[in-house]
Structure 1
Amino acid sequence: MNAFDEALHRVAARQHGRAIPIRRSSILSPDPATTIGIATIKIVTEEQVQAVAFGRIGRDPHILFRLDPISRDVSDLEPFATFLASVADDAYADEGALRIWVPHAGTLEALDVLGHRYWRNQQASDAIRRMGEICRLIAHEQTFPGQQTIADAAALLRAHVITGLTPIEEGHLNAVLAWLDPSVRQPLEESRERIRVPASGVLPNTPDLPLDDRVDRLRREAKGASGSRRAALQREIASILSQAALREWRLMVEARDAFLRLALPAPGLSDLVADSAKRINAGVEYGHFPARSPERLTIQLGQMEVGQQRVDQASVENDPVLRAQSRSAGAVVHGRISSVNQPQRGRKPCNIQVDSDQRVIRFRRDDRVKILNSNVRGVVRGINMAPGGGVRVALEITSGVKSNNVLAVGTIVELLEEGFGFVNIKALNTARDRLPWAFYSDAMPSTGMLPQPSGSLLDIVRGTRRP
């Protein structure tokens, strides 16, 4: 969506007092059997988790609070570690099928820090190291476009609906939920009132709700107290942290329910689901090993590119709203077949020409394209001006040549680019075995002393020409 369309949608949402859907299909597949939720509270000035709400979706969460999150003793994280290990085992038994709901990106950042801090920490217990490894798997999986394991509730809502708030205000999950709640009569006022209390995984610290300062002061007092006084201070800390973590959990559940109420179909995501499950299954079985060598980094970047291609293609194929936007941008071509050159019916070779009135077309020669809602695929062999105006796209059909109902003069078709969806791992491993200096060496190879050419540059060029 371009900036102009986005502004119009925001004006319309504000006028109607409701969020407006901007998609007709979902980018997230239905929840698998193993579906959990995680919500964290971290210290504002430190990358330390001080409370976690976790559990199976549809059940009451477990609340874990840390009285001294700065301490080197992390035994208080053992219940969370045990839970994650159990979830990983269930996902592995289901061939990697797993869904983890989080309220917003702040939770993923907190889990990533936990992972980096403990997955190779030799001072921690085996359970804590396993927890760190699983946290790293979660954070790593989130980096793949189109992944189907982590469901960021705030990001999902922003991807499917638009509100009357400004983009920066939409970063607040509770503010967005005001526009999706039918009981809220004035969502603009209500959402801006909700923004006063953060929904980013930290304790609020406003003049009327200074909970972060309060917990910090209680911890300092508890260190110098003893007996019943110390116990009372710790109970108050536990109460504040538990309520904050529970609030984040409830926001996540409310956002998930709001997303499910959109009732959007999720077609074309099977390849993305399989890719995500495969990565999770391998990570749970073999562990997390960050890509550091050139060939592994290239493979990982290739997998990310494939994921982006697949999610883009699924969206354009199955969502008419996004397809119309892509047509305006030239990524989809709407036209009519003007000629079919197929000497033997139902056989190759087969070449067609499609005439379109579109002013913008982003296809290039040798691009692989497909005809929407058919099994016909081809390669762009030419883009020229049509005799009556417009653009003529020449295609060599590579598959689907028996689709006579499609490959006929006068048929209205929509062409879209087809992602290759392939990473040549064999070729990259061959490059690893050959160790080319450009990628695997710090110094250039020695070329020795080359003979100095004599004569002018023109004489040298003439001497290299074939007779």
Structure 2
Amino acid sequence: MSDYTDTLNRILARSLNTAVPIRTASSMSSDPAVTIGIATVKIVTEEQIQALAFGPLNGRPTLILRINPIGRDVTDLAPFATFLDQVARRAIAAEGELRVWVPHAETIEALDILGHRYWRNQNAPTAIQRMGVICRNIAHEATFPGQQVVADARALLQEHAVTGLAPVEEGHLGAMLAWFDPTVRDPLSEARDRIRLPASGILVNTPDQPMDDRVDRLRKDLKSATGRRRTRLISEIEDILRWGILREWNLVVEARRAFLTLGLSVTGLDQLASDSKERMASALQNGHFPARRPDMLAQWLGQMETGVEKAEFAALEADPIVREEARRVGAVVQGVVTAVRQRRPRFKPCTIEVDSVQGTIRLRSDDKVRIAGSRVTGIVRAFQPLAGGGTRISVEIKDGVRQVGLLSVGARFDILKEPYGFVNYRAMKHVRDRQPWAFFGTAAPALAPGPSRGISAIRVAAGVRRP
């Protein structure tokens, strides 16, 4: 979205006192049967989770309030470990179908650190190690563009709607939610009030509510306390942690409700959901294996690039608003069919000429394209400038030659570039087996000395180039 359009939408939201949707299609598919929520509160200086809330989003969560989160005793995490193992079993039975709602990216980071701390910790119980593996699987899946497992509530609302706040203020989930609540008459004032208290997975620590400092002092006093005083200190710590974690839990529940209230279409996400299911099914059954070898890192990079292309294509095909923005920069081409060359109706070969008045076109010869909202695909074969301005594009139709309505003179549509969407696993396996020095060597191979032939590298390359 351009800065100009973004500003206009924010002015509109402020005048209407409500959030304004900027998308008609969702980037996240409908919640599957296995859908859970997780919220965390961490110690800022130690990166240790001191409170957890988890469970189904339509009921009361299970809470874990850790009196000594930096200690070696991890038995207090057993309920969370059991819960995650049960969820993983259900997801495996559903062929990897899983949805984890979190309030913001800080929760994903906290889960990743928790997983990293215990997934290979030989001193931890087996259940806790399994918990670490699942946490790492969830956090790893969240790194893939277009993934359909981890629903970051704050990011989803920012992606699909704008409020009357400045962009930097929308980093506070609670402030954003004031614009989605119809009972709030003045969302601007309410949002500014809410911003005073952080919503990023940590305890509030303001002059009037120094909860983080208070818990720190209580834990220090607890070390030497006994009897009733010890019980009272533990109770006060738990009360503060309970308030903090329930606040985080309520944020994710309210944000999910606000997102669903937008009523966005969920079409066009089948391929992304299938990719996520496949990755999660494998990860939950086989464990987490970080990519460290060069060939595995190359595969991971390829999956990332593929995810970006598929996610962008799904958004373009399903959302007219996104297509309109893409047309302005030439990523999507709108045109009218001016000629159809087809020897036999409804059969190949078939080539169409599409005239477009767009000033910017980012398509290139031999690009694979698709007509938006259809199964008609083709290959761009030629471009020709038009005398009165514009461009004529020649497209050889490969699939969908029976779509007479689209493949007829006068038909108007958008042309999208199809995602490449391919990771060459066979080539990476070959690289692994061959162990070439360029990938696996620590130093370049030594070349035997010999007399120079006096031929430049450019001439050598020209000699072996195919005509």
Q: State the TM-score, normalizing by the size of structure 2.
A: 0.96
TM-superposed CA distance for 1:229, in Å, is 0.5
Alpha-carbon distance change, 302 to 464 in structure 1, aligned in 2, over 3 angstroms? closer
Please tell me the residue identity of whatever aligns with 2:326. Answer: S
Distance 2:46 2:187 in 1: 34
Show the counterpart of 1:406. 406
RMSD of aligned Cα (Å): 2.1
Which one is further off, 402-411 or 31-40? 402-411
Unaligned stretches of 5+ residues in structure 2: none
Please tell me the residue identity of whatever aligns with 2:15. Answer: Q
Q: Is 1:87–2:87 an aligned residue pair?
A: yes
Show the counterpart of 2:60. 60
Please tell me the residue identity of whatever aligns with 1:393. Answer: I
TM-superposed CA distance for 1:464, in Å, is 10
Alpha-carbon distance change, 338 to 23 in structure 1, aligned in 2, over 3 angstroms? same
1:399-420: per-residue Cα shift (whole Å, max 9, x none)?
Answer: 2223233222222121111112
Please tell me the residue identity of whatever aligns with 2:113. Answer: V
Show the counterpart of 1:205. 205
TM-superposed CA distance for 1:181, in Å, is 0.5
Distance 2:457 2:124 in 1: 69
Show the counterpart of 2:174. 174
1:146-184: per-residue Cα shift (whole Å, max 9, x none)?
Answer: 111111111111111101111111000000000001111
Show the counterpart of 2:137. 137
Q: Residues 200-279 of structure 1: matches in 2 within 5 Å?
A: 200-279=200-279
Show the counterpart of 1:19. 19
1:212-252: per-residue Cα shift (whole Å, max 9, x none)?
Answer: 01000100111111111111101100111011111110111
Q: Is 1:316–2:316 an aligned residue pair?
A: yes
Show the counterpart of 1:115. 115
Distance 1:457 1:265 in 2: 56
Please tell me the residue identity of whatever aligns with 1:133. Answer: V
Alpha-carbon distance change, 98 to 461 in structure 1, aligned in 2, over 3 angstroms? closer
Alpha-carbon distance change, 458 to 380 in structure 1, aligned in 2, over 3 angstroms? closer
Alpha-carbon distance change, 291 to 410 in structure 1, aligned in 2, over 3 angstroms? same
TM-superposed CA distance for 1:458, in Å, is 12
The alignment partner of 2:81 has SS state of helix
Alpha-carbon distance change, 261 to 117 in structure 1, aligned in 2, over 3 angstroms? same
Show the counterpart of 2:447. 447
State percent identity of aligned pairs. 54
Distance 2:316 2:138 in 1: 28
Distance 2:442 2:456 in 1: 36
1:364-404: per-residue Cα shift (whole Å, max 9, x none)?
Answer: 12111111222221111222212332111121222222323
TM-superposed CA distance for 1:14, in Å, is 1.4
Q: Is 1:148–2:148 an aligned residue pair?
A: yes
Alpha-carbon distance change, 393 to 234 in structure 1, aligned in 2, over 3 angstroms? same
Distance 1:18 1:373 in 2: 31
Q: Is 1:353–2:367 an aligned residue pair?
A: no
Please tell me the residue identity of whatever aligns with 2:371. Answer: I
TM-superposed CA distance for 1:79, in Å, is 1.0
Please tell me the residue identity of whatever aligns with 1:160. Answer: H
* Contact residue 318 and residue 373 of structure 2 kept, 8 A: no
Q: Residues 316-395 of structure 1: matches in 2 within 5 Å?
A: 316-395=316-395
* Contact residue 29 and residue 269 of structure 2 kept, 8 A: yes
TM-superposed CA distance for 1:339, in Å, is 1.8
Show the counterpart of 1:194. 194
Distance 1:181 1:333 in 2: 38
Alpha-carbon distance change, 345 to 209 in structure 1, aligned in 2, over 3 angstroms? same
The alignment partner of 1:224 has SS state of coil
1:322-376: per-residue Cα shift (whole Å, max 9, x none)?
Answer: 1111111111111111222223333333222111111111111211111122222
Q: Residues 412-451 of structure 1: matches in 2 within 5 Å?
A: 412-451=412-451
Distance 2:158 2:119 in 1: 32
TM-superposed CA distance for 1:450, in Å, is 3.1
The alignment partner of 2:64 has SS state of strand
Q: State the TM-score, normalizing by the size of structure 1.
A: 0.96
Distance 1:457 1:60 in 2: 70
The alignment partner of 1:101 has SS state of strand
Please tell me the residue identity of whatever aligns with 1:250. Answer: N
